[in-house]
Chain A
Amino acid sequence: MQEHDMTFVRAEMINAQTAPVSERGVLRWLRTNLLSTPLDIVLTVIGVLLVIAFVPPLLNWAFIDAQWTGPDRSVCATIAQGGVQPEGWSGACWAFVNSKFEQFMYGRYSFDERWRVNLVAAIFVLLFIPLLMPNAPYKALNAVLFFFGVPVIAFFLLVGGYFGLPYVPTQQWGGLLVTLVISFVGIAVSLPMGIVLALGRRSKMPIVKMVCVVFIEIVRGVPLVTVLFMASVMLPLFLPAGMTFDRLLRALVGVALFASAYMAEVIRGGLQAIPKGQYEGADSLGLGYWQKMILIVLPQALKLVIPGIVNTFIGLFKDTSLVYIIGMFDLLGIVRQNFSDATWASPQTPMSGLIFAGFVFWIFCFGMSRYSIYMERRLDTGHSR
């Protein structure tokens, strides 16, 4: 065995070199993210194949071969189906959505009165956007106007019958209008009512506590479908002849009560997560019950349960579709109802209509979800000690 008799000591620093090709840039990203293990490689290949298999036909169907305008079903049907398209054609029938668009938005709301819906929508947006922006001034005034002014204005404008505005019966309402009215009322009622119920359930007063527990458990235990069904099929039989409750009102009451019960449980979760020290601290400062709750406990509790609250809102928004049971037609209901219009019946119509309805629902739900994430981040101050 020969010993090394030379030693090598580098006298100066070596120049920094760029990382090997496989360790930087796109290649590195590909290697670590897509191809790092055999399993990853297999999954990546499958994924790429799926994308190739589904995305081009989908884009083709939804955009390139789609029909955007047309008078009736003939533009969305092949010659064999009684239309004008060549054999083997398959594309979205946006012409159906296009020609029914107003109906999807307003339902059967009288033509000449639709400006009233637009006006309400404009007022709503004008007051709602500053309310969402944390930096906008006059928050208190804005909130009062939004939560107390808008419902009153909306009622008089939408229903009519006063100030020379013609009466528009709620049977004629439909589409997105009904979806938004029900979910706005549901959300606006359920949050305060949910807070009250949650506080009541944790109250030390036995009667208050019992009433709240019974309400929450009964409402949570019965499906909304059942309640709406009872309200539309059974209730009219017990009322005196000719006396009927407005269908929209039945839906509003049902949805608001349900959302409140769910909301109460979400908020109770937040209340229980607040450490006992906070309650005792507030007591030791000499605060009364309401001061303690409003100043100390609720701000922290509500912040904690923002995801749960928004979850309930989104669920409520989508639950509005259940009003089809009482013969009202929200966005999804009116889209489905229009499938029965023989002038538009074609193999492509149902899919196109449902995708449109799904897209509109998604826009609203995604908007709510993003805003809640933004608020969570903004309010996330307490735990960074």
Chain B
Amino acid sequence: MKNLVKLLVGAGVLAAASSVASAATLDDVKSRGTLRCGVNTGLAGFASPNNQGQWTGFDVDLCRAVAAAVLGDPDKVNYTPTNATERFTALQSGEIDLLARNTTWTLSRDTKLGFNFAGVNYYDGQGFMINAKNLEGITSALQLSGASVCVQGGTTTELNLADYFRANNMEYNPVVFQALEEVNAAYESGRCDVYTTDQSGLYSIRLQLAAPDDHVVLPEIISKEPLGPAVRQGDDQWLDIVKWTLNAMIIAEELGITQANVEEMANTSTNPEVRRILGKEEGSTLGADLGLPNDWVVNIIKGVGNYGEVFERNIGSGSPLKIARGLNALWSKGGIMYAPPIR
């Protein structure tokens, strides 16, 4: 039975992959007038509804940026909330054009699932949170030998945890739950000393604890979780558009182009790099080569802002989550966010 299901899924994936591969997503999006974007069903800071019911968040802003680049209007996005299993089918079957759902870039997803990742918009990694009041003096995960650890079952998190403790010759006692809410409740009630999940998640969980200031996120990151937008394999033009939308946002931060000053910079800047990116250089066909209008970067920045602004607004200092830039700072400021030049 299991094999039969596998076979069916395999056949389905093949059929989907072969039939969709040739379709030009850009033309579809343009003729439809909206971008169909797969987002998380709800993850604080990355994709969640605001008071008016509109989608907001770090991943949502990437969808909005692509819509701004392609259609000139960041609001022309149709969001499809997807859960962890559904997200891949939705992309394979063509139900969505772009998957921006804190998805980790791995080799097997790139090859077996038939996706292409258009870059990394958030470098995440698994971390640990402890109650500093109960565990005084602990400043490193290497001191956690013998601790009981709350973890969500069936995730890579659980496997990474086992690897880490074994590699460092430490004992631990896993306390496993299926739903994230249960893990929260168990940690809050003191059933375990340590909470482990992706670091971005730890910050949002901390907001829901009774005494957030008692809890600290330890500095160690024990896994690489580069999260990025994914598109279907076989449509290179569309991959380029998503890839360079993300790159343009990063470069805009490097050059100090912000939502507030982009118009002014486009009109007055004499810096050739700025002029080139904003489509003001004579004879430049950078936008047209992508299949986009020449002022595509102006539209992106006007619509959502540069990478730094998007980060701070949704998950950084401008949000309740207050996640530090860390690895996600620009390469020139101690992080690893680095975009190839637009020229």
Contacts and interface: CB of A to CB of B under 8 A. Distances in A.
Interface string B11-54: 01101100110010000100000000000011111011111111
Contacts of A232: 86, 89
A72 B54 CA distance: 16
A350 interface: yes
Contacts of B83: 325, 327
Interface string B58-81: 000000000000000000001111
Contacts of A327: 41, 80-83, 86
B213 interface: yes
B128 to A, nearest CB: 20
Given A341-B49, A349-B208, A108 B54 contact: yes
A325 B41 CA distance: 10
Interface of B: 8-9, 12-13, 15-16, 19-20, 23, 28, 41-45, 47-54, 78-83, 85-86, 89-90, 92-95, 181, 188, 204, 207-213, 319-321
Contact of B43 (A111, A340, A349): A340
A310 B81 CA distance: 33
A341 B50 contact: yes
The secondary-structure label for the interface of chain A is: helix
A37 interface: no
B9 to A, nearest CB: 7
Contact of B212 (A81, A236, A340): A81
A346 B204 CA distance: 10
Given A82-B212, A99-B51, A342 B16 contact: no
A343 interface: yes
A237 B93 contact: yes
Contact of A238 (B15, B47, B82, B94): B15
A241 B90 contact: no
B39 to A, nearest CB: 10
B93 A171 contact: no
A329 B40 CA distance: 13
Contacts of B210: 81, 347
B82 A236 contact: no
Interface stretch (A149-157, A204-212, A248-256, A331-339): A331-339
Interface of A: 72-73, 80-82, 99-100, 102-103, 106-108, 111, 169, 171, 174, 232-234, 236-242, 244, 324-327, 329, 334, 336-343, 345-347, 349-350
A103 B56 CA distance: 14
Contacts of A171: 78-80
Contact of A80 (B16, B45, B52, B211): B211
Contacts of A106: 53
Given A238-B15, A326-B86, 10 more contacts: A81-B211, A103-B51, A108-B53, A111-B52, A236-B92, A236-B93, A327-B41, A337-B41, A341-B51, A347-B188
A343 to B, nearest CB: 6
A253 to B, nearest CB: 18
Contacts of A241: 16, 19-20, 23, 93-94
A347 B208 contact: yes
Contacts of A102: 53
B94 A242 contact: yes
B78 A103 contact: no
Given A103-B53, A337-B48, A340-B42, A73 B93 contact: no
Contacts of A345: 44, 204, 207-208, 320
A326 B94 CA distance: 16
Given A236-B95, A237-B12, A327-B86, A82 B48 contact: no
A174 B54 CA distance: 12
Contacts of B19: 240-241
A1 B191 CA distance: 82
Nearest to B36: A171
A238 to B, nearest CB: 5
Contacts of B211: 80-81
7 contacts: A73-B207, A237-B93, A336-B42, A341-B48, A342-B319, A343-B320, A350-B181
